[in-house]
Structure 1
């Protein structure tokens, strides 16, 4: 696949038919502020050859991205890739981004539910400031031969898995259990009293569930060891960890919970003082082509919001992804919205009390 992409037999015709790239426009230098693996060298070479633009990559993370853009008032870069829950707050406070011109985005290339969720979560004063790129989830990682009855987060408290369950004492566990108990914690983000009431119910459930827990895992390697050894047969964990275990043991894999996996999305956002908007929009439309996005999945280990990109992934990864995420499971992902001030203090108190409970 990579060779056919590099010599232009795949994808170039798609770009010509779409007519979205800036043919005839002046070539620009795109200063990209992104995560490791999101702009692999082979993709950059393809983009530069097709568009005439050049790409200058600075690797970063959410905290550093925001700090760099704050320091310059949104200058120094033409395209950034913060997570979707790190856009609305910094934009409202610091004005470090400019709105996305959605008419310049080929929306058909995006998974619709992810595009809608990201637009909603990055809207400030009626303007959209982000569209989705790379995403991942947490949900259930199960030994399906021994814990096939586990379909949702609260099933981790069932008698069939007593003593062989693990999850982290972190906020994703609180959020996941709330959804599994029929509540919507994200809808209560703007109401501290309502959120506290939800968290109190989750606290009671997690204390009730303590006898089922083998251990509260702290790191991914620890959990992988517990699942490989059979000490744990059902857990809350990330999709990529489940797929990695599946490569060694066909019975262990990631399962999207009935209440919905919990999803994060890293976006495309335009810094306020970016100078190469043409190149930025060209890059977005280029890397969202499914066959190009598959190369980014190969590089980063994460899937993208490109519609149909899983078809171009390796046979093994495609099979694992499609088994874990039929279309209805993707549409049921609960995407993390921006966290209002004060909520993490509420959650911290709940986690401390669960940990201390007998």
Structure 2
């Protein structure tokens, strides 16, 4: 085959979509993310504008880390871990690659939130995460059936069998703050941190008789609250506001010791094959009108500058009711989790689970 014939063959292959896998990959973004962060209309508009398909895998922090560990950071082009779950796993396992901020429209982000997330996801001078959706964990209470103002109130005898928490690290941290301790201040002292977690674990084990269940999916908890089987729970804010839409007696309350604040990010897996599509998705999602659609689907708020202009008025009113200025200032934002901390917590949670 002469040169002209070879070039003609390549041109035909490209026209028929028979090009190399690398070319085909340009038209697909493999995204691992949380439920409700990828509304169908947003995906459709992205494809219309860019020609890129979005292959979605729904997950959570633990599963994202597990999947990326298993593949050495391959299998996905973009991930959405919480900002406190980036530098620790990066140090231990090298799951991510640094962000090229020249490819990000940083003017689309709320400056203070962008700066804070960059600080919390920087390792050896390189940024590994950008903010997307944020929210809090606090208390959801049926105010007609119970008066609960802080996490330990879930363990009061009068609420026996009628409360719920997750058997996860946020519960340990929340109960530590409610006991007047600052667990984040002990992150660099594993021995002291382990002692604090042991104390919290004992209190949670003693509280098990009060718990209707350790909830592990949102429908289980939402249905329990709706049915009146659960009168109070540690729960995320958007779930509380969703319940409030149906029953005004059920309210999301910022606990006296502080709600637990989280930020879910954009991060690039170490062996992602399509960074261009990932950056296109980030910039598209941070446009205010698009960010408002995603925030509306998730029921939370976004790091997109100006998105509040497009957001649901009732959600904004619910946020204002749950977070007067003092409560907002008292949010306990998760810092980066150092290596080894989650192993300590995991052992405590296992003991709580096994306790009678």
Give the 4+ runs in structure 1 shifted more than 6 A. Answer: none
Cα pair distance change 1:197/1:151, threshold 3 Å: same
Cα pair distance change 1:346/1:127, threshold 3 Å: same
Unaligned ranges ≥5, structure 1: 1-27
Deviations 1:184-241 (A, max 9, x none): 2123233221112212432454466567x25344354454444334454322122232
CA contact under 8 A between 1:30 and 1:78: conserved in structure 2?
A: no
5 Å-filtered alignment, 1:3-18, equals none
Name 2:348's counterpart in structure 1.
Answer: 347
Quick one: distance in 1 between partners of 2:237 and 2:192?
30
Task: Using structure 2 for the length normalisation, give the TM-score.
Answer: 0.73
Name 2:53's counterpart in structure 1.
Answer: 56
Structure 2 SS opposite 1:138? strand
Name 1:91's counterpart in structure 2.
Answer: 90
Cα pair distance change 1:90/1:202, threshold 3 Å: closer
Name 2:6's counterpart in structure 1.
Answer: none
Name 1:16's counterpart in structure 2.
Answer: none
Quick one: distance in 1 between partners of 2:31 and 2:281?
13
CA RMSD in angstroms, aligned pairs only:
3.6
Indicate yes or no: 2:33 matched with 1:42: no
Cα pair distance change 1:304/1:34, threshold 3 Å: farther
Shift of 1:274: 4.9
Which 10-residue stretch deviates more, 289-298 or 225-234? 225-234
Shift of 1:252: 0.3
Unaligned ranges ≥5, structure 2: 1-25
Shift of 1:181: 1.8
Cα pair distance change 1:221/1:279, threshold 3 Å: closer
Cα pair distance change 1:112/1:162, threshold 3 Å: farther
Quick one: distance in 1 between partners of 2:119 and 2:99?
13
5 Å-filtered alignment, 1:1-358, equals 29=27, 31-35=29-33, 36-47=35-46, 53-60=50-57, 61=59, 74=73, 77-102=76-101, 104-107=103-106, 109-111=108-110, 114-148=113-147, 150-157=148-155, 164-203=162-201, 205-206=203-204, 213=210, 215-219=212-216, 220-274=218-272, 277-326=275-324, 329=327, 332-335=331-334, 337-338=336-337, 340-341=339-340, 342-348=343-349, 351-352=352-353, 355-356=355-356
Quick one: distance in 2 between partners of 1:59 and 1:185?
35
Structure 2 SS opposite 1:259? coil
Which 10-residue stretch deviates more, 230-239 or 248-257? 230-239
Task: Using structure 1 for the length normalisation, give the TM-score.
Answer: 0.73
Shift of 1:315: 3.3
Cα pair distance change 1:214/1:277, threshold 3 Å: closer
CA contact under 8 A between 1:262 and 1:335: conserved in structure 2?
A: yes
Structure 1 SS opposite 2:152? helix
Cα pair distance change 1:285/1:234, threshold 3 Å: same
Aligned length: 324
CA contact under 8 A between 2:78 and 2:278: conserved in structure 1?
A: yes
CA contact under 8 A between 2:238 and 2:300: conserved in structure 1?
A: yes
Quick one: distance in 1 between partners of 2:338 and 2:145?
36
Cα pair distance change 1:231/1:95, threshold 3 Å: closer
Structure 2 SS opposite 1:296? helix
Tell which structure's C-alpha radius of gyration is larger.
Answer: 2
